[in-house]
Structure 1
């Protein structure tokens, strides 16, 4: 059994995936709240959740709850996280953790004041393959990193009412899939990018459907990111240095990379972790952050990523209808 009592907000597919993970790791989930429905009742029964709360306030009032997992549409995250933190709960939130960096900075301040852990459920930062690769790169595997090329392309079903295309729900490629690509980029850059060049095509509802972005930092390292929501692309990350390059496919939950050495042309496979355990790695790291009181480790890179996403949208001149900037 877990040392912590988990509560879930939401009952969609990713909440179901996390519930399955928590059941496998900890046997029982303490509580859940979501929009009342027959599907919610089935969710509770399937995952043998101990308590079903009528609303978020009732859930947060339960002093036995230690952790809140937020799995709602993006535009609801900041308000729910703030309530949970102020109620003294640690928070793990699905990406994008907030709409912009201003929201995130405010929430980080609250978490730090209350000695609570706030973390985005970004698989890239927790998969063993990336931990292994960053160690290898820091030890000189690639030499000086010069260029990163990162693709992520989905083909979402055409439905203007779907949250992916709804501006009122913070839809669009950047917040839905762009966080993955930008997280990989930030993980391997020496410093935060200070130059952004970007162009975008919009879907008929007004959200970003596809974009190409070039980032550059003070060391001259460059990143090219391409995102699409109506054109499938391989989820491929390429990190190129003077000694060779790394390729990682299906990087959001990857477990393999391929290193090609410049001098010999030889390619070797690097493997670590299990794709099926992606959420388990998130849970393990999150609970470890709580036990070690590592307030910064859980959120530092996430804030950098959110600032990059802010800058991209600033270059586009794009603001969500509900967003106050």
Structure 2
């Protein structure tokens, strides 16, 4: 049965790397999900992935998966330089799509995918799993309800120790390499989840010999007076912490802010309040929350998720474009 008929949702996996394996491992534990096909540019890689996860069909090219009418939704897990081509092919063939972040190389490509989804009346969502995390949703609800007053400052960082050799995809301009699109998308998305698209952007970066950013710092500002100080790095393991400071309090996420297991609300005259991920909500590192949101939306006949709306994704891509423009990072495969 298809998702539209109220049965299990049939997934296709496009790409066979580490994030595809992690997502598939979570999917196969969900009774409402069925992984029915996988595709790679290498037939051997697709077959090995299919054998590993017990998937019925393995394709040695993307087009075959896109044409598979027994697939309800395709999870696109290629490097982001290929997202436009892979997700676009699936949407044009009538498949619904969950596409990894960064959504595309740039905002123009992201807009093209959104237009394709509308043209073909298909569901499309960025795999920004942070937005689907129960604790992040709780944090946003608290901020929206005024728990910290008017938001003044957001801080967030995401850095990996490396070192990554020049041959690694994270340093390859042709694959959209650099800290910003792979890691910085999280701090930017966190800030914009709470404050929306910024009115001002300043940024500075340390670039590699290949021309991608090894680490980037950005300051986003809003006309109402709010400011976000954000950092990402491929040359140092940061604490991956975040904080939201307002006129009446502060929320601290002590580590792993993009998939937290706890955060603390501080307000003047009150004891700190700790919010913890509940046992029923699963381990903090799970990708199941975004998978469940996709399946919920498909069953409801929705073309995008209210948790990860396309306009929010496009707004983040515009900010990433501006940051890259400020620091001088450009990719050879960019469409315009």
Alignment TM-score > 0.5, same fold = yes
**Aligned twin of 2:218:** 213
Determine if contact 1:243/1:261 at 8 Å carries over to the other structure: yes
Q: Which of 234, 242, 246 is the matching residue for 1:241?
A: 246
Q: 1: distance between equivalents of 2:267 and 2:284?
A: 29
User: What is the RMSD computed on CA atoms of the aligned residues?
Assistant: 1.7
Q: 1: distance between equivalents of 2:268 and 2:132?
A: 29
Q: 1: distance between equivalents of 2:119 and 2:184?
A: 30
Equivalent residue of 1:231, what SS? coil
Q: 1: distance between equivalents of 2:324 and 2:164?
A: 24
1:175-211 superposed Cα distances (whole Å, 9 cap, x missing partner):
000111111100111x420111111110222110011
Give the CA deviation at 1:32.
0.5
Determine if contact 1:194/1:218 at 8 Å carries over to the other structure: yes
**Aligned twin of 2:77:** 71
Q: 2: distance between equivalents of 1:157 and 1:36?
A: 28
100-109 vs 27-36, greater mean Cα deviation: 27-36
Given the two structures, how large is their TM-score scaled by the length of structure 2? 0.91
Give the CA deviation at 1:275.
3.5
Runs of 5+ in structure 2 lacking a partner? 2-6
Determine if contact 1:200/1:316 at 8 Å carries over to the other structure: yes
1:43-74 superposed Cα distances (whole Å, 9 cap, x missing partner):
21120001111311122222111111111111
1:8-63 superposed Cα distances (whole Å, 9 cap, x missing partner):
11111111111111111146410001133655433211200011113111222221
Determine if contact 1:154/1:228 at 8 Å carries over to the other structure: yes
Q: 2: distance between equivalents of 1:274 and 1:188?
A: 24
Q: 1: distance between equivalents of 2:36 and 2:21?
A: 14
Give the CA deviation at 1:165.
0.8
Determine if contact 1:253/1:275 at 8 Å carries over to the other structure: no
Equivalent residue of 1:30, what SS? strand
Runs of 5+ in structure 1 lacking a partner? none
Equivalent residue of 2:29, what SS? helix
Pairing of 1:289-308 with structure 2 (within 5 A): 289-296=297-304, 297=306, 298-308=309-319
Give the CA deviation at 1:322.
2.1
Equivalent residue of 1:200, what SS? strand
Number of aligned residues: 323
Given the two structures, how large is their TM-score scaled by the length of structure 1? 0.94
**Aligned twin of 2:292:** 284
Q: 1: distance between equivalents of 2:317 and 2:181?
A: 9
Determine if contact 1:127/1:255 at 8 Å carries over to the other structure: no
**Aligned twin of 2:331:** 320
**Aligned twin of 1:84:** 90
**Aligned twin of 2:20:** 15
Equivalent residue of 2:286, what SS? helix
* 1:267 to 2:289 alignment: no
